[in-house]
Amino acid sequence: MNVEILYEKYGPMVLRRCRRLLRDEDRAMDAMQDVFVRVLQRRDRLRATYPSSLLYRIATNVCLNCIRDQRLDLPGDEELMHIAGMEDPESRLDARAMLDRLFARHRDSTRTIAVLHFVDGFTLAEVAQEVGMSVSGVRKRLRGLRDSLKKLEEL
C-alpha cells in the first residue's frame, strides 16, 4: 500500500472529516496526520480495496478518541456544545457526563455507529457497510444504546 499516494488523493477528504467532528482546525490537522501515521504503521496488514472507506473509518475513530480524551475542565469546549446543543456551561457538563456514562456501557464501535448514523446521517445500510456489520447488527447496537440512555435518564 503506497501511503504517499493515499495521502495525496484522500488527504483532503480525511481533513474535512476531522474538521467536521472536531470543529477545530489545529486539532483536525493533527488528527489527519494521526490517521496517516496509523496507515503507515499498519500498511502491511491493511487491505485498501476501498481506501476512502478505510480512511474515513480510521479518521472517525481517531477523532472520536480525541473527543473522548478531552477533559471536562478544558475551557472552550466547542465540541461538547455542538454535540449536546447546549449553551449553558452547567448543562454542557451534565451532557458530557451523561455521554461518558452512556458510552462507557458500550463498545467503542457502538460510538462510531452512533456518530455515523445520528451525526453524519448515514442510513443503517451505509453504517453497516462502513463498519463491516449487518444492518440488523447495527440496528441492535442502536437499540441497545437507546435502552441504555432511557435507563440513565431514569436515574
Q: For residue 49, give the 3-state DSSP assignment.
A: coil
- Number of residues that make up the chain: 155
How much is the average pLDDT of 18-22? Answer: 90
Query: Structural domain boundaries of the chain?
Result: 1-69, 105-155
Determine the residue type at 98: M
Reported confidence tier of residue 72, pLDDT bands at 50, 70, 90: very low
Residues 63 and 79: their CA atoms lie apart, in Å, by 11
Reported confidence tier of residue 7, pLDDT bands at 50, 70, 90: very high
- Mean pLDDT, rounded, of the chain: 79
Question: Which residues fall within 8 angstroms of residue 35, CB to CB, at 6 or more apart?
Answer: 14, 18, 55, 58, 59, 62
Query: If you classify domain 1-69 with CATH, what class do you get?
Result: mainly alpha
Which residue shows C-alpha cell 457526563?
A: 97
Q: What are phi and psi of 117, to 5 degrees?
A: -80, -50
Residue 14 CB neighbours (<10 A): 27
Task: Convert the pLDDT of each residue in 91-145 to its tens digit.
Answer: 545 666 777 777 888 888 888 888 888 877 788 888 888 888 998 999 999 888 8
CB half-sphere exposure, 66, CA atoms < 13 A: 25
Whether residue 152 has pLDDT greater than 80? no
- Select from 27, 94, 14, 95 the least CA-distant residue to 65: 27
Q: Report the range out of 28-42, 68-82, 135-149 with the highest average pLDDT.
A: 28-42
C-alpha cell at 99: 455521554
Give the fold, CATH level 3, of 105-155: Arc Repressor Mutant, subunit A (1.10.10)
Residue 97 CB neighbours (<10 A): 12
Continuous segment of H or E residues that includes residue 131:
helix 124-131
- Select from 6, 126, 115, 10 the least CA-distant residue to 63: 115
